[in-house]
Amino acid sequence: MNQYLDLAPEVAAALKGKRPVVALESTIIAHGMPFPQNLEMAKAVEQAVRDGGATPATIAVVAGRLCVGLSDQVLQRFAEEGPQIVKVSVRDLPFVVARKFMGATTVASTMRIAAMAGIQVFATGGIGGVHRGADKSFDISADLQEFAESNVAVVTAGAKAILDLGLTLEVLESLGVPVVGFGTDDFPAFYSRASGHPVPIRCNTAAEVAALMQAKWAMGLKGGVVVANPIPKKAEIPAGEIAPVIERAIDEAEKSGIHGKEVTPFLLKRLAEITSGRSLAANIALVLNNARLAAEIAKNLQ
């Protein structure tokens, strides 16, 4: 066990008993949504995992410790302090741990810590990817490289719609990462159920996804799996409707000189403002949907 890793008693007991566990990230709490919706979402997602028959393990860095499973008090602190807490990708872990800081883990760092703990399924909202204009900025999320490193399946509503989805899929292919459409042949685009980009693999049940994961790792094929789970129809914002809103928000970010890890939180906040909260409601709905599927997959791995 990693000397910097702390498992909550509930999580440790579930792992020891070989019961299903689902990892959850903390950046979505600290940087993805405003308070108090972020706290309500975090608690609802953990409950959705429990209702699905698995143990939730929200991951964060707390006073320099890699914590897998958070108390209600710590969840509240991350929700209330939000942007004051460092957003931590894999590259930031040594610094944050050494300085004993608080850190909200991204998809990449959550995957890495989940793998350290022996957790194979992780539910999030949307993964990072290749940003638009990356041919000039080289802005490519560390999430993609992490899929080549950590043996964790990530249930996601596709990549964030603010990204270049075609190039994101190309990079995942180059890294040898299976991209599975859950009940779909079209890669979902976060707020929208379809992006127009086909997925190379389709699975229609959690059991099929679990079997793919087991076959991959049993063959010694290192790395994760993208499980692309479309947002529920009733919560969807069609691509044609959200696209101009995203373009507007991206233009504002560029004019304001916002770049790097600050881009995504800014864009998510502006989208929520421009859509009068509709994008936030969609975000919450898709995260809950992913948590439910992740619990089913985790149960089928047992």
Contact 148, 222 (CB under 8 A): yes
The question of whether 262 is a catalytic residue gets the answer no
Identified catalytic residue from 25, 46, 146, 296: 25
Res 254: pLDDT:
84
Neighbours of 152 (CB within 10 A): 23
CA distance from start to end of the chain: 21
User: What's the domain count of the chain?
Assistant: 1
Residues 30-62 as b or e (16 or more Cβ within 10 Å = b):
bbbbeeebbbebbbebbebbeebebbbbbbbbb
**β 121-123/153-156 pair status:** parallel
**Residue from 46, 87, 146, 160 carrying the catalytic annotation:** 160
What residue numbers bound the domain in which 32 lies?
A: 5-300
CATH of the domain at 62: 3.40.1790.10
What was the pLDDT predicted at 253? Answer: 87
| Contact predicate 282/289, CB 8 Å | no
Residue 267 region by backbone torsions, left for phi larger than 0, else alpha for psi between -120 and 50, else beta = alpha
Please give the structure tokens belonging to residue 223: 């790395």
**What's residue 1's pLDDT?**
57
Residue 204 neighbours by CB under 8 Å, 6+ apart: 182, 183
The confidence score (pLDDT) of residue 258 equals 86
- Catalytic status, residue 25: yes
Per-residue pLDDT of the chain in tens (302 residues, 90 and over written 9)? 589 999 999 999 999 999 999 999 999 999 989 999 999 999 999 999 999 999 999 999 999 999 999 999 999 999 999 989 999 999 999 999 999 999 999 999 999 999 999 999 999 999 998 877 767 667 788 999 999 999 999 999 999 777 889 999 999 999 999 999 999 999 999 999 999 999 999 999 999 999 999 999 999 999 999 999 999 999 999 989 999 998 898 889 889 988 776 777 788 889 989 999 999 999 999 999 999 999 999 999 97
CB-CB neighbours of 258 under 10 Å: 15
